[in-house]
């Protein structure tokens, strides 16, 4: 579980709800027609913009906002050093037998074991990284577009409420519900955009950047193995991906191998 995301969503929504409770009657902020306008309109516009499968993928990916990253960069560096040591002792062909849960790392090991040259490895890995970024961009863009649509439909609801209110000027008792729709739809749209959709898109983007960095660690480690197959050289090159204060000495990494 990603603690930062959990604290963020609970504190953000919690403080807003608390302010509403302390400020007056909660029922004043509940309006079914307003929810229908904002949520229904946002979903309709999103489905019109993207393919249905992309929208489903985006909502499934929202789970990763609250999950911990699968791979730690330092552990990944340790793995590449071990692979360099194995390939140096047993030969590059031995990497074919490496067991890993990472499809990207498995593909790298397979390419090296199949005697792929450095140019072929670079081309294959760059294509893999770029295609992953494109897939993730579509998922992030779904939430960015929803963040844009929600306030727009909130304003549309406001216009609907104002029109209803103006048509009911002769009946003062009915002005309240119409005014509620006019104001609350803007509130709903802004709340969804600011507190949910934009933060989810931002967190998914940060996860993509982290995954790209891990892919680069694997990629650069594989190139180093092909070039000189020296574990120390692999360590020196890959340690640049980790902040200086968090880097672990080569000796400690060997002890953990």
148 token code pair: 């844009």
Mean pLDDT of 126-137: 90
Residue of 160, 147, 158, 136 lying closest to 209 (CA atoms): 136
Give the lowest-confidence range in 15-19, 25-29, 129-133, 195-199. Answer: 25-29
Q: Which residues contact 55 (CB under 8 A, 6 or more apart)?
A: 46, 47, 142
pTM: 0.82
Q: What percent of the chain has pLDDT over 90?
A: 26
- In our burial notation (b when 16+ CB lie closer than 10 A, e otherwise), range 15-43 reads eeeeeeeeeeeeeebebebbeebbeebbe
Whether 255 has a pLDDT exceeding 70, the answer reads no
Residue of 78, 69, 71 lying closest to 238 (CA atoms): 78
Q: What is the pLDDT of residue 4?
A: 78
């Amino acid at each position: 579980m990603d603690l930062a995301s959990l604290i963020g969503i609970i504190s953000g929504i919690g403080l807003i709800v608390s302010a509403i409770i302390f400020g007056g009657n909660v029922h004043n902020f509940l309006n079914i027609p307003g929810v229908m306008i904002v949520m229904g309109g946002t979903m309709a516009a999103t489905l019109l913009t993207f393919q249905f499968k992309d929208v489903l993928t985006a909502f499934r990916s929202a789970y990763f906002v609250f999950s911990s990253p699968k791979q730690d960069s330092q552990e990944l560096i340790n793995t590449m050093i071990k692979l360099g040591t194995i390939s140096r002792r047993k030969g590059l062909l031995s990497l074919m037998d490496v067991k890993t849960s990472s499809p990207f790392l498995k593909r790298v090991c397979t390419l090296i074991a199949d005697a792929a040259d450095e140019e072929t490895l670079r081309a294959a890995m760059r294509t893999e990284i770029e295609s992953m970024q494109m897939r993730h961009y579509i998922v992030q863009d779904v939430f960015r577009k929803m963040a844009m649509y929600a306030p727009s439909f909130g304003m549309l609801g406001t216009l609907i409420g104002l029109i209803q209110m103006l048509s009911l000027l002769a009946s003062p008792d009915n002005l309240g519900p119409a005014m509620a729709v006019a104001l609350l739809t803007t509130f709903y749209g802004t709340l969804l955009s600011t507190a949910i959709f934009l933060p989810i898109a931002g967190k998914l983007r940060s996860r993509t950047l982290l995954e790209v960095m891990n892919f680069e660690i694997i990629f650069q480690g594989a190139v180093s193995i092909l070039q000189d197959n020296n574990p120390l050289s692999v360590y020196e090159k890959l340690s640049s991906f980790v902040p200086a204060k968090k880097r672990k000495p080569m000796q400690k990494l060997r002890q953990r191998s």
